[in-house]
Structure 1
């Protein structure tokens, strides 16, 4: 079975497609570092939409999501954006955990996705 990697560098690929499964790397808000949790979550979900579209999928095909927050105090704020984004009847399996430090202090939210094609 073919493996396709895109948006890659030596360390990682932002998207890997294997068969009919799409794996996204943990996404951080490239366009809104240091922004509010709302702004970062919106930016991340837009990136996810774009990467899934490039892979021939979309948010209705998400199987699993893992969300890392620097503080669980931001859980409700992140969920307000997430809940508006997830289509009715297409909620994936999901985990949300606190991770006091992400890649840089500018990022407070990170989201990893696995989806079907």
Structure 2
């Protein structure tokens, strides 16, 4: 394990992910504003897959997930997409809550922490 900090997708305000000491923390991922919660969830999870791959790991190594929904009435729609995506036998610790997101057009935000290989 490296004691170096590695940043992925570095921007002026934040990085897409930061890895340190065998763990990678991803920034919150959102989908296309205005799309359905199911479509936004699919887009979020595709971005999680992409960023984890860039860091050299994958969704089987996710330790925890936080999911924020703009409206808890969409919980079942989000879960249908999540359940089809998350690898059985490798489900992470997870919390889901309701929050106002950056704009009203965002319906879901997904944040994960994963172990590196």
TM over 0.5: yes
Question: RMSD value over aligned CA atoms?
Answer: 0.7
Contact 2:8 2:55 in 1 (8 A): no
CA–CA separation in structure 2 for the residues paired with 1:62 and 1:89: 12
| 1:110 equivalenced with 2:112 (yes/no) | no
Aligned to 1:79: 79
CA displacement at 1:36 relative to structure 2: 0.3
CA–CA separation in structure 1 for the residues paired with 2:24 and 2:7: 10
CA displacement at 1:114 relative to structure 2: 0.1
What secondary structure is seen at the aligned counterpart in 1 of 2:74? Answer: helix
CA–CA separation in structure 2 for the residues paired with 1:109 and 1:4: 27
5+ residue gaps, structure 1: none
Aligned residues: 114
Superposition TM-score, scaled by structure 1 size: 0.95
CA displacement at 1:52 relative to structure 2: 0.1
Superposition TM-score, scaled by structure 2 size: 0.95
Deviates more, 1:48-57 or 1:1-10: 1-10
